[in-house]
Structure 1
Amino acid sequence: MIRVLLVDDLQLVRAGLRMLCESADDVTVVGEAGDGRTAARLAEQLLPDVILMDLRMPLMDGIAATEAIVAARPGTRIIALTTFDDDDHLYPALAAGACGFLVKDTSPGELLDAVRRAAAGESTYSQEVLRRLVADAVRSRTATAAADHDDLAQLTDRELDVLALVGTGLSNAEIAERLHLGLTTVKTHLASLMTKTGCPNRVRLAVFAVRARIATP
């Protein structure tokens, strides 16, 4: 069972999120907070697996709360869930330690999928946010083409297939289905890809794939 903490200063929003989460058999809401300070305290007391974190709140905002929670419990998975889909909110949230970023018009199914993926250790971004992250990182990337070529030369054909699909924004489950692989096998390939390319996370792998222009299988 995935234990979720809801953090939003609007009670109506929290009520809607609770109803959505509790409609799933594998998700349970262990608590609610209306500000970042209460969220940090409840995260210590309730030990949630995933926190859905609003960013604009009184007393302590979601950025500061995320930073405090991750510092105290690095394994906590925090998804920023906000109305504001802009870089002024996106990058501070990621820098604070959020594992994902979704806007509040995300569909119910996508939100539940994001909670499950976060609990499984994956990063969770809306497609638009992921595309923007990739585009921004590509523009700012300073690694040379020669270094990229050397990294690619280390990869197996199957790792190249997985890398290409990461670059399109597919989840682990979607990659497994596309390539007819087990989910554990996909995760193993991802770990190997991160080691061989020096990419520390899924977003950097996506950047690497886009820049290298790897054809999707």
Structure 2
Amino acid sequence: METPIRIHLADDHQVLINGMRTLLNTIENFQVIGSSLKGTTLYEEVTNNSTDILVLDISMPEKDGIEVLKEFAKKGYPCKVIILSAYDDVKIVQEVMKLGASGYLTKQCACENIVEAIQAVNKGEEYFCNQVREKIFSTVTKNHSKLSKSKLDPEYQLTEREIEIITLIALEYSGKEISDQLFISTNTVETHRKNIMKKLKAKNMISLVKFALKNNLIKP
């Protein structure tokens, strides 16, 4: 029998916790093992009950989600964290991902996406709900001409052309579309793509988006 995914829910509304608990406990291999209405003792709680995934409301009382993530980062992450928020602000997404969160859901899409998010994060992937993902891509599109490698670690050595291609890949352009957009051959696009993935040690498109957020390539 497969080991269950142990889930802790942290939100300042008991009704929302109850609703998520009811939903998640119907999923095979999911086990809601605890819940919290405040952030003050979360570190001890998820450590003591061996939580695998913490679903964390960013607006917790007394100690909010950002403060909880900072505590986790300082003490060492006891579990993976999916942020739950009423906001799809890219600046907030950027901040929590920098602090080590693995996923981000808005409360509007939580019921629809929470199961998929937990499954993805449990496998070591990052997860953004569609609303947040579209907002990120919109920000990339709006600001792509302002992208800069000036704050990147020198080890990456990304060229301006590579930064342009990262943007278009993140927007899910095909190789042919990138070729047409930048007036270069598809072979050149593929060569750049391979070089970018190697330089950034990226596995997929979401990895490229996360890299851009963490390194301030996107300027919300």
TM-score (norm 2): 0.66
Alignment of 1:1-217 (within 5 A): 1-74=4-77, 76-106=79-109, 108-137=111-140, 139=144, 140-143=146-149, 144-147=159-162, 168=172, 196-198=198-200, 203-206=206-209
CA distance in 2 between counterparts of 1:46 and 1:55 reads 21
Name the CA shift for 1:3/1:131 in 2 (closer, same or farther; >3 Å): same
Q: Distance in 2 between matches of 1:146 and 1:92?
A: 27
Secondary structure at the counterpart of residue 133 of structure 2: helix
Task: Mark the runs of 5 or more structure 2 residues left unpaired by the alignment.
Answer: 150-158, 173-193, 212-220
* Matched residue, 1:215: none
- Counterpart for residue 175 of structure 1: none
1:198 maps to amino acid: L
Gaps of 5+ in 1: 153-162, 169-191, 209-217
> Whose radius of gyration is greater, 1 or 2?
2
Change (3 A) 1:194 1:47: farther
Across the aligned residues of Structure 1 and Structure 2, the Cα RMSD in angstroms comes to: 3.2
**Count of aligned pairs:** 174
Residue 37 of structure 1 aligns to a residue whose secondary structure is: coil
> Could you tell me whether the CA contact under 8 Å between 2:105 and 2:129 is conserved in 1?
yes
- Structure 1 residue 200 displacement after superposition: 5.5
CA distance in 1, matches of 2:88, 2:161: 35
Give the helix-richer structure, 1 or 2.
1
Deviation at 1:71, TM superposition (A): 3.5
Would the alpha carbon gap of residues 15 and 199 (structure 1) be closer, same or farther in structure 2, given more than 3 Å must change? same
Q: Residues 30 and 142 of structure 1: is their aligned pair in 2 closer, same or farther, counting only changes over 3 Å?
A: same
Quote the Cα distance in structure 2 between the aligned partners of 1:135 and 1:197: 25
